[in-house]
Amino acid sequence: MKLLRDYLIIFAGVGLISALILNSIILPLYVNWNDEIRVPSLTHTDLEKATQILNERQLAFTIKDTIFRRDIPGGFIMDQYPEAGQMVKENRKIQLTISLPPAKLEMPDLIAITQRQATIALDQLGLFLAEVTLDSSDLYEKTVVVGQSIPAGLPVAPGDSITLTVSLGKRNLKKIMPSVLNKGLKDARKLLERSGFSLGEIQYSLDTELLPGTVVLQSIAPGKVFPRERQVYVDLMITKEFE
């Protein structure tokens, strides 16, 4: 009887300890595990969709960081913490890193400033100078910007590529003396000015075979070439009116 009593006491003690372990450790662990929620994958979804997914799982979010990426639209999830697949409690806030939308910029007017000044202006806006082409210009000195691939005032975003055209200086332009012989004085003046020349002194001839005011001689022979920027005066001899 004593041995049976001892077994009963031992069995009761083991049962009590097991009950305590079950109540204090195993059951709380089981309950807590059931209260946890698996974190969904939110990367590469937009913020609206991510909010819907989290709400369905009784989770929330907070914006941890923002980042600009040219190849990703604004409001997309770039990163998350905790990572997808981890277990968290209800109402846990998932930390999100989202992409920023492209900044609203306006293309500046770079014409008539130096290439160096234009490069600095582009850098400040985050625009990329992809190429510089060179061309002669009668209006702008050497190293001055004479053209831009995106006109001033149009919208641009950081990372956009711009091509500039920079002046090599004035072209070696020429002008050719026209022939004004046998033309009336009015027409001769117009032709000279249109060709880049100026009317000089006028002398008169007593030639009676031509109408009065007709050019019979010009001081510079037709076909002679001059630099375009040079000012050249042309003297004319015209027939005198009949007396």
What's the rounded Cα separation, in Å, for the pair 197 and 184?
17
| Entry field: residues in the chain | 243
Average pLDDT on 14-38 reads 57
Instruction: Say how many C-beta atoms besides its own lie within 10 A of residue 99's C-beta.
Output: 20
Please say which residue of 101, 122, 143 terminates a domain: 101
Kindly give, in sequence order, each residue whose CB lies less than 8 Å from that of residue 48, ignoring residues fewer than 6 positions away: 75
Owning domain of residue 131: 105-167
Are 94 and 54 members of one domain?
yes
Please say which residue of 50, 83, 101 terminates a domain: 101
Structure pTM?
0.39
Tokens of 50: 């991510």
Are the CB atoms for 62 and 96 separated by under 8 Å?
A: yes
Are 85 and 28 members of one domain?
no
Are 235 and 178 members of one domain?
yes
Are the CB atoms for 76 and 45 separated by under 8 Å?
A: yes
Q: Is the pLDDT of residue 51 over 80?
A: yes
The whole-number pLDDT of residue 96 equals: 94
What CATH number is attached to the domain comprising 120?
3.30.10.20
Please, which pLDDT band fits residue 148 given cuts at 50, 70 and 90? Answer: very high
Q: How many domains does the chain have?
A: 4
